[in-house]
Amino acid sequence: MLLHRLYSFRRCPYAMRARLGILFAELTVELREIVLKNKPAEMLAISPKGTVPVLELLDDKGQHQGLIEESKEILEWALQINDPQGLLNTDLQTANTLIEQNDNEFKHYLDRYKYADRYPEQSQSAYREQGEVFLQVLEKLLSKNHYLLGKHISIADIAIMPFVRQFAHVDREVFYRLPYPQLQQWLRDWLEHPLFLQVMTKYQPWQAGDELVVFPTAHT
């Protein structure tokens, strides 16, 4: 079986984004789950930057054909091949603006909130409050519709949700006390979504010589 090859790490929000895109596109790839502290030489050989996700594209002979090293590009690649739920049928300019704000401003404060001991310049609560600026944008959008950009799931929802999840999981009690009821319900719904549950399936770390692991697996 010839499949494109995805290097991933289960808990990384960027990698979650890529896996969600593959699932929503109803595609199948070879999955290589990695350990961040022991990255496989095979991945580093094609992507020296050493971050996940990495999608290695193979030709029909199984030879290296190309590489996609950014999660948003993997997401777009998948949905451009197949988009049965119409995630790209939205205001893409607004979607891209939101995703850019998530990936830059919000992720900056998310990292400092989660690892506040590494960034003693400010308190953890100060970093959380700065991250909340983006949560307030999302809350306002969700006060109008069930999803960020309308009545239906869009690329913005699946690109941003893993990061909101990570923010919430820094301190769940604090998060669910914040004044963002629409966002909190949106996240709860996502955490129970069948495709997200599939995204979070656990796989053993890949090693050279292992049997091919197909994602998604047939039993899920």
Q: Output the domain CATH number for residue 78.
A: 3.40.30.10
What whole-number distance in Å separates Cα of residue 199 and Cα of residue 193?
Answer: 10
Amino acid occupying residue 16: M
**How does pLDDT run across 109-143, given as a tens digit for each residue?**
999 999 999 999 999 999 999 999 999 999 999 99
Please state the domain count of the chain.
2
Please indicate, yes or no, whether residues 67 and 97 belong to a single structural domain of this protein: no
Q: State the DSSP H helix or E strand holding residue 168, giving kind and residue range, or none if neither.
A: helix 155-170
User: Looking at the structure, do residues 58 and 145 belong to the same domain, yes or no?
Assistant: no
Q: Do 138 and 119 have their domain in common?
A: yes
Residues 66, 129, single domain; the answer is no
Judgement on whether residues 80 and 100 belong to the same structural domain of the protein? no
Query: For residue range 4-19, what is the model confidence (pLDDT) as tens digits?
Result: 999 999 999 999 999 9
Global pTM? 0.96
SS3 of the chain: helix, strand, coil, percent, to 5: 50, 10, 40
Q: Is the pLDDT of residue 51 over 60?
A: yes
CA-CA distances (angstroms) from residue 131 to 56, 128, 134, 170?
A: 33, 5, 6, 12
